[in-house]
Amino acid sequence: MDLGSLISPAGSRKKRKRLGRGTGSGHGKTSTKGHKGQKARAGGYHKRGFEGGQMTLTRRTPKVGFTNPFAKEFAVVNVGDLSEVPQGTVVDEKFLREHGFVKNTRDGVKILGGGEIKTSLVFKLALYSESAKKKILAAGGKIDAASATPEVK
């Protein structure tokens, strides 16, 4: 192999358009901008969303509602999901995260009443739905909300 046999890969050599350099260049006269109009002028273009003076789509569409930036978002677990947990287990945020019941505790964990639970468990969490409380207590479980302290992230 010698320097004379080297070739560049396809598409690696690109030639720059030389605008306004005469008709022989192929990009002369109007310099690929067409005749007259806003886009043909120097510095002439428009902002994103501009529709030629018509009211833009973002301003035409109705704005409805409000999103509270301070809203709390809780990870939820149904009591039915915990039916396979061994009897007497202490269920807290750490346990739920380690065993894959929740990925991210966000602003805390709330236990909901979906499904059935037959084993008695000890819950150390702060939030429960009314139906979840009834099912946990009916199965012989305990709710120790006083010892539940949110973990520092």
Are residues 74 and 127 in contact, defined by beta-carbon separation less than 8 angstroms?
yes
Domain ranges for the chain: 75-147
pTM of the model: 0.55
Whole-angstrom distance, CA of residue 27 vs CA of residue 30 = 7
Whole-angstrom distance, CA of residue 144 vs CA of residue 130 = 15
pLDDT band with cut points at 50, 70 and 90 for residue 153: very low
Whether pLDDT at 116 is above 60: yes
Please give the average per-residue pLDDT across 94-123, as a whole number. Answer: 91
DSSP 36-76: SSGGGSTT----TT-BTTBPPHHHHS-------TT---BEE
**CATH class assigned to 75-147:** alpha beta
Each residue's pLDDT tens digit, 16-72: 889 899 999 889 999 989 999 888 888 888 888 889 899 999 999 999 999 999 999
